[in-house]
Structure 1
Amino acid sequence: MSAEYKFQNLQERNLTFEEVFNRILLFMKRNPDGNFRLMIGTDSQVHCNRTVFITGIVIQNERKGAWACIRKTVIPRKMLHLHERISYETSLTEEVVSLFTDEYKDKMFEIVLPFLYKGGSFSMEGHVDIGSGKRNKTREFVKEMVSRIESIGLEPKIKPEAFVASSYANRYTK
């Protein structure tokens, strides 16, 4: 199932999901007593004849660094309707999250488990590039997209806390 997914970062290209997952485990095993946040989010940019979507995966050990990669999806048309684009961003995030099966989540949690009493932690977040501010055009979609992220078992984050979507992924949509 995950064989068709290809990820990359500044150091590596054409990573399979299995390789991405192994990089995440290696990162976590370096400091197994850390406070880990696995964050997944998508952003998009409309270009003249296509729309580019970037889904970012970031594993962060708070105050001790992070490892990250992206997956690029190109739709060969301008997606001008904001709701369609935000909904598709959320779908791509859900798709990547679905690769983290219970078996994979258990492997990550097992790394931190012996250190929980020493303050170690692990959480998963879904970052959605929307905001609830009065001037934000996406505010009317917040409830819908947050519900979708919650329904797949992730802690939803919106702007300004949704930095994987609004900052990391955004950088690669240009």
Structure 2
Amino acid sequence: MRNSLRFYNLSEDQMSMQDVIHRLKSFILRDPRSAYVLSIGTDSQVHQEYTKFITAVHLHRIGRGAWGCLKHTVIKRPIHSLREKISLETAYSQEITAIFLEKYFEEITDLLLPFTGEGADLTLEVHLDVGKKGQTKELIQEMTGRITAMGIEAKIKPDSYTAFSYANRYTK
């Protein structure tokens, strides 16, 4: 399945995971003395005959722009169970995060190592579409626990912008 991962953004279509890593590294190399937050988050939208999931990869150069891309997944049925929907969103984010951790995160951090004394930093976060308000509050502990078990910081609303803002724009 990992070989079939395809990402896109407004500039490019059909990017492989290798393409995504290349773009992230190029973005970092333009300013390796900056602090970065690499966040991964998924949002979904239930449609009449299917449920659309968008997983976003977002690299924020703090105070100086960002680069991002999206992965589109469709389940061919409407998912009405909030627990199932949020669980799948979390699983899709975990899948991409695991790929980063397995193969690429060290490669990306190595670019910044020579500049750590000059402010270079990279944080990896998973952004969940859950928050303390609304129905998803009952799912916070379970979903954040799945992420922290990976050794990654989990962010919830209002700090989980990659899921509830960036990915959300493309689920409609």
User: Residue deviations 1:4-58, cap 9 Å, x none?
Assistant: 1000000100110110011000001110011011000000000000000000000
- Distance, in Å, in 2 between the alignment partners of 1:22 and 1:88 is 27
The 3 A distance-change label for structure 1 pair 121 and 90 is same
User: Residue deviations 1:36-85, cap 9 Å, x none?
Assistant: 11000000000000000000000111011111000000001010000000
Shifted more, 67-76 versus 144-153: the winner is 144-153
Secondary structure at 1:100 match in 2: helix
Gaps of 5+ in 1: none
- Distance, in Å, in 2 between the alignment partners of 1:105 and 1:61 is 16
1:14 aligned partner? 14
Q: Give the TM-score taking structure 1 as reference length.
A: 0.96
Secondary structure at 1:130 match in 2: strand
- Distance, in Å, in 2 between the alignment partners of 1:121 and 1:128 is 22
Cα drift, residue 107 of structure 1: 1.2
2:115 aligned partner? 115
Residue 154 of structure 1 pairs with residue 155 of structure 2: no
In structure 2, which of residues 136, 143, 146 is the aligned counterpart of residue 145 of structure 1? 143
Secondary structure at 1:48 match in 2: coil
2:106 aligned partner? 106
Cα drift, residue 102 of structure 1: 4.2
Secondary structure at 2:43 match in 1: strand
Secondary structure at 1:145 match in 2: helix
Divergent runs of 4+, >2 A: none
1:79 aligned partner? 79
- Distance, in Å, in 2 between the alignment partners of 1:3 and 1:16 is 8
- Matched-pair contact (CA < 8 Å) for 1:2–1:16: no
Secondary structure at 1:101 match in 2: helix
Cα drift, residue 116 of structure 1: 1.2
Q: How many residues align?
A: 172
2:169 aligned partner? 171
- Distance, in Å, in 1 between the alignment partners of 2:111 and 2:83 is 39
- Distance, in Å, in 2 between the alignment partners of 1:74 and 1:160 is 26
Which residue type is aligned with residue 108 of structure 2?
A: M
Secondary structure at 1:168 match in 2: helix
